[in-house]
Amino acid sequence: MASGTFSTGADHLLFLARLVIPFRRLHPLIIIIIVTSFTVAHSITLIASAFGFAPDWLWFAPLIETLIAVTILFMALENIVGSNVGLRWIYAFAFGLIRGFGFSFALCEQLQFAGDHLVTSLLGINAGVQMELI
């Protein structure tokens, strides 16, 4: 797939900042739960894409790009209106699934060079994302 405006590492970090900024005064465990929820979901769809389980329909990539924009708008509005600590980890998981597909589109070419080391490459990417976020 040709890469257009698909996700990059920087926009993931900015999105996670939108998820946790309202709670910066809360216990760090809540922030870790939110970030881990996002990373687990992100990893699920990234791994699914790498192993060919993601849909390859022509309309799927534009749908994911649109949904990524919707997640950004939703989080901005939710932060303005009021944040619900109890639901944030659920939002993080749901939006992580969406953003994982976007990230997989951006990494598609790099992962094809992993050869027999695809699992190692995926684990390295996911560990790097998690460490960068915490």
CA–CA dist 75, 30 (Å, integer): 17
Burial class (CB in 10 A: 0-12, 13-18, 19+), 98: buried
pLDDT tens, residue by residue, 49-67: 878 888 888 899 899 989 9
The reported pLDDT for the residue numbered 63 is 94
Lowest mean pLDDT among 4-8, 38-42, 104-108: 4-8
pLDDT tens, residue by residue, 60-95: 989 998 998 898 888 888 888 877 777 888 998 999
Residue 16 has pLDDT above 80, yes or no: no
Instruction: Give this prediction's pTM.
Output: 0.74
Token pair listed for 63: 């749908």
The reported pLDDT for the residue numbered 127 is 72
Alpha carbon distances (Å) from 34 to 62, 64, 76: 27, 21, 16
